[in-house]
Chains A and B, each alone.
Chain A
Amino acid sequence: MKIAVAIDGSENALRAATHAITLAKHFPEAHLEFIYVADYDKAKDERLLSQNEESLLLKRRQKVEPVLELAQTAGLQAKMTLLKGNPSQEIIKYVNAQAMDQLIMGSRGLNTFQEMMLGSVSHKVMKHVDCPVTIVK
């Protein structure tokens, strides 16, 4: 059983991770894998808001670290995969290519207007991923 969790450093992603960990605990043979996508559209702004490449890496690290800690405290082995590109496209590509059995992700909790402007990552992913998807609210 391969469980993938898409995270983005938000509260919702943390909840999704907690849910995934609970699930993984019940499947002794489960492989837990966290996926973080550095968004191409934010590449310029992220670079400008960090002092240099090293602090940029640190900032990304800080986004995934809490989730890894959660897994560790739960006594689970978890893999961390960092991808770059368009978040929904990269998640879909990766989850399908790795033949994941289950994808878990948080919802950003956007309102209708924001969703229209920004587009919902979870919605897009849900439509194109081959495995069952759990959206954690």
Chain B
Amino acid sequence: MHTIKQQWFGNVRADLLAGVVVGLALIPEALAFAFIVGVDPRVALYASFAIAVITSFVGGRPGLISAATGAMALILVNLMADHGLQYVLAATVLTGIIQFILGGLGVANLMRFIPNSVMLGFVNALGIMIFITQLPYLRGHDAMTYVFAIATLVLVYAVPRFFTAIPAPLIAIVVMTGIALISGVSLQTIGDLGKMPNSLPTFFLPDIPLNLETLKIIFPYSLALSIVGLLESLLTSQVLDDMTDTPSDKNREARGQGIANFFTGFFGGMAGCALIGQSMINIKSGGRGRLSTFTAGVFLMFLIIVLGDVVVKIPMPVLAGVMIMVAMTTFNWGSFKFLKQAPKTESIVMLITVAIILYTHNLAIGVVVGVILSSLFFVANISRVTVTSDSGIYKVKGPLFFASTTKFIQSFQAVKEKEIIIDFEDSQLWDESSVGAVAKVKQKLEEEGVAVSIRGLNSSSEQLYEKLL
């Protein structure tokens, strides 16, 4: 672990530059996420500013970029529609509390239990949902809308071939907005849908009744936000660990996300988490330290306050074009190869995770079901136990535990020999039920007049056997 001074000032020049680039790259998505939730752009921009700045101090992964995100926005849609902004802010505060507690309990250690098939399902469903949210800005408008969206898409994919210093989405937005203003075409703009903030966020308490009824409304949302936020943040931390060859404190990151969301709610911002795309941009641009994240947040706020009047002129189809690129990048195109190559059960887990998320519109439910399903598949897979008999020697292959004992017992139903040996060399007794099953088989056979001896138990199985019998 680096010292605090190194984490902040070990890479000043590159961190400042990368922070500026990331600050620019954060703006289009923050705006789009606000529109997804149905809140004023202010709510997402304040969130991005507050979360980036707070996590730069309390996060566990230097260089990680956290802000308003699509995954969190998608969860907040219904809460906003049914109960309004004050509940969104209250849910954000509660999310912070839950994440902080989970971080304190060491939630990051549970990441190992989430298989990559579930993570793939998560990002793929996220990509598809972000794509779907952009369609209303295209469909039902005139042909010019499509022209601008497609031209934007072409630009975001073509520009990086020639020029990579400034994020392509930003170049595309500036160019296309310029074309729209000069040519005078009439397109729906950001200004038509919301107002830009012209001041720094202020501290206030969400205006909600503090009672059990409120808690009942916001708790399910906060729980979902907590799960999704931690999942994406910890995944992003892992990617950055790999890119930079440096370790990070994942539980501290979880607590940091909690602290950031807690305060963001009071500053009028919606819940957020780490952004994979922007974090990767940060690393690629040379950002490594906490200063890069801090700079990104501050520069974003600065730009919004200075350029707010220009930002409202950005045509919606241009923003939608950028977001379609974001959706395509979020989607993991290697998944098709994965479906062909991976074991069937893993493919099923991925597809079901995607299907559930698309059906429920809730990323958290998909992840939870995916994890349960994959654990069941794992247990089913590992519980294969075979018993082969050869002249009185019964060889047991595979682990014996609660899920595999039935098969084990069944294998001894038709014993013809008068004397048998059960060989456990390729097996292991895992729990009470396995010892119980061995005892049951032994007792039943002995009642039938078969002499049973046991051999080949490894030392831990032997210990368990001795202890329980």
Contacts and interface: CB of A to CB of B under 8 A. Distances in A.
Contact of A44 (B239, B241, B245): B239
B114 to A, nearest CB: 10
Contacts of A49: 116, 120, 332, 334, 338
Contacts of B50: none
B112 A52 contact: yes
A56 interface: yes
A117 interface: yes
Interface residue tally on B, bucketed by range:
20 to 34
Which one of B116, B119, B244 has the highest number of Cβ atoms from chain A below 10 Å of its Cβ? B116
Given A40-B280, A45-B334, A51-B116, A117 B242 contact: no
A5 B460 CA distance: 49
Contact of B243 (A43, A48, A50, A119): A43
A116 interface: yes
B119 A48 contact: yes
A93 interface: no
Given A48-B123, A50-B116, A51-B116, A43 B334 contact: no
A116 B162 CA distance: 10
A47 B242 contact: yes
Contacts of B276: 44
Contacts of A25: none
Nearest to B122: A48
Interface in A25-49: 38, 40-41, 43-49
Contacts of A40: 243, 280, 283-284
Contacts of A84: 243-245
A56 B239 CA distance: 11
A47 B239 contact: yes
A10 interface: no
A85 B119 CA distance: 24
Contact of A116 (B116, B161, B244, B280): B161
Interface in A78-98: 84-86
Nearest to B238: A47
B308 interface: no
B337 to A, nearest CB: 8
B235 interface: yes
B197 interface: no
A86 B283 CA distance: 11
A43 B235 contact: no
Interface string B145-182: 00000000000010001000000000000000000000
Interface string B221-251: 0000000000000010011011111000000
A71 to B, nearest CB: 25
B120 A56 contact: no
Nearest to B341: A49
Given A49-B116, A49-B120, A84-B245, A117 B161 contact: yes
Contact of A43 (B120, B280, B333): B280
B115 interface: yes
B332 A119 contact: no
Q: Is the interface of B mostly helix, strand, loop or mixed?
A: helix
A79 to B, nearest CB: 18
B325 to A, nearest CB: 14
B123 A43 contact: no
Contacts of A46: 242
B156 to A, nearest CB: 13
Contacts of A41: 280, 284
B326 to A, nearest CB: 13
A123 to B, nearest CB: 12
A37 to B, nearest CB: 12
Contacts of A48: 116, 119-120, 123, 235, 332, 334
Contacts of B334: 45, 48-49
B235 A47 contact: yes
A137 B119 CA distance: 38
Interface string B266-286: 000000000010001001100
A50 B112 CA distance: 12
Interface in A114-136: 116-117, 119
A52 B161 CA distance: 32
Contact of A119 (B115, B157, B161, B245): B161
B238 A53 contact: yes
Contact of A45 (B112, B241, B243, B332): B332
A84 to B, nearest CB: 6
Given A48-B123, A49-B116, A119-B161, A56 B338 contact: no
A60 to B, nearest CB: 10
A103 B338 CA distance: 34
Given A44-B239, A45-B334, A51 B120 contact: no
Which one of A48, A51, A116 has the highest number of Cβ atoms from chain B below 10 Å of its Cβ? A48
Given A40-B283, A44-B280, A49-B120, 11 more contacts: A40-B284, A43-B243, A45-B333, A47-B238, A48-B116, A48-B123, A56-B242, A84-B243, A84-B245, A116-B161, A117-B161
30 contacts: A40-B243, A40-B280, A41-B280, A41-B284, A43-B239, A43-B242, A43-B243, A44-B276, A44-B280, A45-B334, A47-B235, A47-B238, A47-B242, A48-B116, A48-B120, A48-B123, A48-B332, A49-B120, A49-B332, A49-B334, A50-B116, A52-B112, A52-B116, A53-B238, A53-B241, A53-B242, A84-B243, A84-B245, A117-B157, A119-B161
The 3 closest A-B pairs by CB, nearest first: A43-B243, A47-B239, A49-B334
